[in-house]
Chain A
Amino acid sequence: MRLLLQSSRRFFYRHPGQLILALVGIAAGVAVVTGVALMREVLIDALDSATESLSGAESIRIVDPRGPMDETLFIELAMTRGAPPLLPVLSSRLRHGNRMLELLALDPLSLEQGGPVRLTGSATGPLFGQANAALVSQRTLERLDLEVGATLSVRHFGEQLDLEIVNVVAGGRELDDRIIMDLAAAQHLTGRQGELSFIEAPVDARAWLAERLPEELRLIDADQRRESAASLTAGMRANLTAMSLLSLAVGLFVIYSVLAFLLVQRRRTIGMMRAVGVTEGQVRGLLASETLILAGLGALAGLALGTLMASGLLELVRQPVAELYRMVASAGVQPTPLLYVSVWILAVVMALASVFGVLREAQRIPPGQLARTVHEERSGASPIWRWLPVFLLVAGLGLILVTRSLPPVLVGLFIMLSGCALLAPVLGMHLLRMTAALTRSSLVGRAIKMLLSSRQRLAPAVSALSLALALSAGVGMMVLGFRATVDDWVARLINADTYLTVSQGQLDSSSMETLQDWPEVEMLSGSRQVRMDDGSMVVGYDLNPRAWEGFEWLDGDGLAARDRVESGQAVLVTEPMARRDGLSAGDTLELVTPSGTVEFEVAAVYRDYSTDRGMIAMIGSRFRELWNDDQRDSIGLYLGPGVDHEALEQRVSETFPAGHLTTRESVREQTLGVFDRTFRISWALAILVGMIAAIALISALLALGLERAREYATLRALGLSRAGLAGVVLTQTTSLAAIAVLLAVPFSLLIHATLSLAVQPRAFGWSLALSFPLQPLAVLIPLALLIGALAGAYPAWKIAHRDPAPLLRAS
C-alpha cells in the first residue's frame, strides 16, 4: 500500500493542475453546503432571540395577537401584589440606508429592578441622559462603521430619526443590527406613545400571569417563538438546502472525474502491481484512500470557504426575511463543531459513494495488464442499468405529481434530476454521434469521433454542465415567470390611485370619514391587519366596488362571495391558507378572536402573494367588532379625474401631519423590489453551481488532454498543424458545451415547471401561472458555449504546443 500511495503522491506531484482542480471542485461544493447550513441555522435559531440574549436566560413573552398592546396593561400587572419582574418592550423596524435595523426599546427602571433582562448599570445609565440615546453591540457598531458618540441617522416610516450611540452593550450576534433605547424616549421619538410590542417575564411567572392576563393576550415561551420563526422561513430554507446539495453533487462530479482519470493513468502500474501480488482489496483501498484524502482535504478547505461565504449569503437573505417576515436576523453565523463535522462527513461519504464505479473498474484490472489503453471497454450494460435514467425520471415525476407535501416533492425533484444527470451523457453521445455522421470527413467530424471514444470519462462533465445550466435556466425562468405573475397580481389588486399611511398616530374611521368628504376623493378603501400566533394574518377590509374587482377568485363564486362577506357571515381565504389548512369554498373555519372563537364560512379562495403564512380576509365592520380595533393600517384613495397630486399631498400633510401618500406605481415598485431581493440568493446559488460545473468541465478536459496525448502526438506526426490540433481540441470542448446546452433546454423547462407548479405551491402555498420566459436561456446558451470554448483554450494551447516526438517513442 505504501508503494501504491507513493505512486499516487508522485502522480499528483507531476500533475498539480489535476490536484488543484479536484480540491477546488470539492471545496467549492462543500463551501456552498456549509454556507447555506450556517445560514439556515440563523434563519431558525437567531431570528427572534435578541431579548433572550440580553436576559441570558429563557423568558416568556406576553403578546397581543391584535398588534401593539396598551402600556396601561403593563402598569396594571406591575402594580399587582406579588408581580414578577416584568420588562416592557417596544420593537420597531428602522432603516439605515439599505439596511434594516430593529429598535428594541426597554424600560431601564425595570432592568434595575432585577427583571428578566439584564443590562449592566454602566450600559443602561446613559440611556437616562438624553432623548435620542441608543446602545448597540460592538459588532453592530463595527457593521455600521460608527464609534461611540456618533450620530446614527435612521428612517422610521419614512421619517428621519437621529440617534446618538452613547455606549456599547455586551452581547452576541443576536444583537446584530439591534438598537437599544429607553422605552419612553423611543415611544416619543417614533410617535408610539403608550404602546408596547410585548412584555418579557421570567419563565417561572407563567402560572401567576396565566391567572391574571386578559383573555385576548397570549403567553409565548422561547420554544414557541423559535418554532414560529423556523416555520416562517421553512419554505426559504428548503429552497436553499436543495440548491446547496445540488452544488455539492456537481462538486462530486469533479472528484469522480479526477479519480477516474487517475485510474486510466495508472492502469499499467496497477496491472503490474496485481501481477506481483497486490490484491483487489489493496487496489480498492488505494483509491478509497486517495478519495478520502482528496475529499477530506477539499472538504476542510470548503468548510473554511463556506464560513467566509456564509456572511455574504446571509446578507442576501436578511433583508427579504426582514421585509417578508418582519424579523431581523443576526448578521453573523455561529459555526459549531457538530455542523462542521456533519458537513465534512457528508462530503467524504458522498465522495466515496461517487467513486464507487471507479473502484469497481480498478478491481477489474487483470494482473499483468500492460497495455495502456486509451479506449474504453464496451460495457454490456444490463437492461436494468440502461433503463435506470428513464426509470428515475419517471419515478421522480410520479412522486412529484402524487404527493401534496414539500419533502416528498424535493425528494422527487432530486430523483428526477438524478435521472436527468444519467440521461444527459447517453443522449449527449447520441447527439454527438449524429453530428459526427453528418460532418464525417471534416475536422469537426473527426474531432467529435475522437471524443466519442472517451464518453465514460466525459459523462460526468456533460452531466454536471447540463444539469448546472438547466438548474440556472430553470430557476431563472421560474423567478421571471413568478415575477410576471406577481406584477400582474399587484397591478390588479392595488387599484387605488394612492395610499395613505401614517408614521405616528393612527388612521381610523374618523380619518375615513374626513377623507370621504374631500372632493378629490371618489372612493376609499381601508385595511387593518393583525398577525395570528401561527404567523398567518387576519385582515379587515373596507372595500368599494372597484377594490372588489381586484380579487382573482381561485375557488368559489366571486359575486356570491362578496354578498356573504359583506354580510359579515363569511370570510375569504388566500391560496396559501387554503392549501395549508385544506380549505375550499363552502367550508367553515374557526377563528380565535379577542371576542371569543367565531365560526365563519369560507366564501371563496383568492390569489395572494403577500404572505406565505396565509391570510383570512373579512369585512372591516365585522373585524372591528370582533377585535375591538378601529384603526386602519392604510387607506386607499380613488381619485377623480384631473386631481392635482401636489395639492392633494399638501392637504394630506395639513390634515394628517405624519401622513404619507404612496402612489400605486410606488407600491408596485416596492413590491417587486422585495420580490427581487428575495430571489437574489437563488441567483447567487445558481451562479455558484454554474461555476462548479465549469470546474468540472475544465477538469474533464484537462484529463482528456493528458489521456489522449499520444493520439494527438500521432496526428501532429502525420502532419496536422498546431492550429489544426488546437481546432480539434476546441471543437471537442465546444461540442461538449453545445450538447450540454442542448440537453439543458428540455431539462430546464422540466425544472421550471416542477418549481413553478409543484415546489412553489407546496413550499409557499401559492400557484403560479406557467409561462416560459426565455431570457435565461438566451443568456446562458451563448455563455455556456463561451465557457466551453474558454475551458478548452488552455488544454488546446497546451496540447498543440507539446512536442510530439517524446510522446511517440515506443513505451
Chain B
Amino acid sequence: MTEAVLNIRNLQRRFGSAHDVQVLADLNLDLVEGERVAVMGASGSGKTTLLHLAAGMDTPDAGEVLIGGRSLSALVEPERTRFRARYIGLVFQDFNLIDSLTVRENIELPLWLNGMTAQSGRIDTLAEELGIAALLQRLPEKLSGGEKQRVAIARALVHRPALLLADEPTGSLDQTTAEGVLRLFDRVTRQHNVTLLMVTHNDEAAALCDRILHLRHGRLSDS
C-alpha cells in the first residue's frame, strides 16, 4: 500500500493589513508516495502561498499540513526548518542559486545542512543525469537559464527528499529551453520516484503530472 506523503487539511490563509484578503479557504489535498500533482491557477490565486505553506515557510491561519504524517503546525520554527531541510526539496522559478558558490557547492548545500556530505558522490550522479557534469566548477553567473534550472533541480533532489515542491520551474525560461528542462525534470523525478507538487501556468509542465488541479477562490478542484 502506498503511503501518504502530503496531507493538507482545511487550510486557510489570509493576507492584508486587516487580514481581509482570503487566499486559501478550507483547502484540502493529499499526495501519496511517487504521485505527481500539478496545481494551476491564475496569477494571485494563491499557488505560491500554497507551496510556501506546504514547505513550512509560512504558517496557516487555520488548518494543517502533514508531511509523512507529521503536522508542521506541531513543530516550532527551528524544528520546522530542520524538517524542511531533511524532507523537502524546493525548485524556484528564479532558480535562487547562491551566486558566490560554484555549481557543485550549490548542489552540496542540502547535504551539508543535513550532515550528509559523505554522500557527495550523489552530486556527480545527479549532475550526469541532468547533463551538468561539466559545469560543476563554474559559478552560476556563467550559466544559461536552462543550466541554472537543472542545477536547481539537482540541488532539490540531492538529499532524497520525501516531497519535491516546484514553483513555476520553467517560468523564467524560453519555450525551447523550457521543453528541454521539462523532459529532464520528468525523467529524473520518475527515475527517483519523487513525490511532486508543482504549481505552474504551463500546460506542458502540468501535463507531466499524474493529476492536474485548479486553484480557484482558495480551493482546489479537478477541473
Hey, which bits of chain A sit against chain B, CB under 8 A?
Answer: 373-375, 441, 446, 449-454, 710-711, 713-724, 803-805, 808-811
Contacts and interface: CB of A to CB of B under 8 A. Distances in A.
Contact of A808 (B88, B92, B117): B92
A722 B81 contact: yes
B144 to A, nearest CB: 13
Contacts of A810: 48, 92-94, 167-168, 171-172
A719 B99 contact: no
Nearest to B172: A810
Given A375-B141, A722-B77, A450 B98 contact: yes
B16 interface: no
Given A808-B92, A810-B167, A719 B141 contact: no
A416 B22 CA distance: 63
A680 B77 CA distance: 52
A808 B100 contact: no
Interface stretch (B52-60, B64-72, B121-129, B185-193): B52-60
Contact of A717 (B90, B171, B172): B90
Nearest to A443: B112
Contacts, number: 92
A714 B172 CA distance: 17
A808 B167 CA distance: 10
A719 B57 CA distance: 10
List the 10 shortest-distance A-B pairs measured between CB atoms, nearest first: A719-B85, A453-B100, A810-B93, A375-B99, A714-B96, A450-B100, A805-B52, A805-B57, A721-B81, A719-B113
Given A449-B105, A723-B78, A804-B57, A717 B113 contact: no
A811 to B, nearest CB: 6
Contacts of A450: 98, 100-101
Contacts of A724: 113
B85 A718 contact: yes
B146 interface: no
B82 interface: yes
B114 interface: yes
B105 A717 contact: no
B96 A717 contact: yes
B101 A720 contact: no
A804 B77 CA distance: 13
A445 to B, nearest CB: 9
A719 B100 contact: no
Interface string B73-99: 000011001101110101011101111
A717 B139 CA distance: 21
A195 B117 CA distance: 91
B2 to A, nearest CB: 26
Contacts of B110: 718-719
24 contacts: A373-B99, A374-B99, A375-B100, A449-B100, A449-B101, A450-B98, A450-B101, A454-B100, A710-B96, A711-B98, A713-B96, A714-B96, A717-B55, A718-B113, A719-B81, A719-B84, A719-B110, A720-B81, A721-B78, A724-B113, A803-B58, A808-B96, A810-B168, A810-B171
Contacts of B77: 722
A722 B141 CA distance: 27
Contacts of A803: 57-58
A721 B114 CA distance: 11
B130 interface: no
Nearest to A725: B81
Contacts of B139: 375
A724 B57 CA distance: 16
B57 A809 contact: no
A315 to B, nearest CB: 50
A436 B131 CA distance: 28
B99 A711 contact: yes
Contacts of A713: 96
Given A716-B81, A719-B81, A722-B81, A805 B99 contact: no
B8 interface: no
A808 B168 CA distance: 12
B58 A805 contact: yes
Contacts of A453: 99-100
Given A715-B98, A810-B92, A446 B78 contact: no
B39 interface: no
Contacts of A375: 99-100, 139, 141
Given A453-B99, A808-B92, A810-B94, A719 B105 contact: no
Nearest to A723: B78
Contacts of B206: none
A720 B57 contact: no
B103 to A, nearest CB: 13
Contacts of A804: 57
Given A373-B141, A375-B141, A810-B172, 16 more contacts: A446-B112, A450-B100, A452-B100, A714-B92, A714-B97, A715-B98, A717-B57, A718-B90, A718-B110, A721-B78, A721-B81, A721-B82, A722-B77, A803-B57, A808-B57, A810-B171
Which of A375, A453, A808, A809 neighbours the largest number of chain B CB atoms within 10 Å of its CB? Answer: A808
Nearest to A372: B94
Contacts of B98: 450, 711, 714-715
A453 B142 CA distance: 14
A371 to B, nearest CB: 10
A721 B115 CA distance: 13
B212 interface: no
Contacts of B52: 805, 808
A720 B57 CA distance: 12
A450 B140 CA distance: 13
Interface in B151-175: 155, 167-168, 171-172
Contacts of A446: 101, 105, 109, 112
A488 B141 CA distance: 62
B54 to A, nearest CB: 12
A366 to B, nearest CB: 16
B161 to A, nearest CB: 10
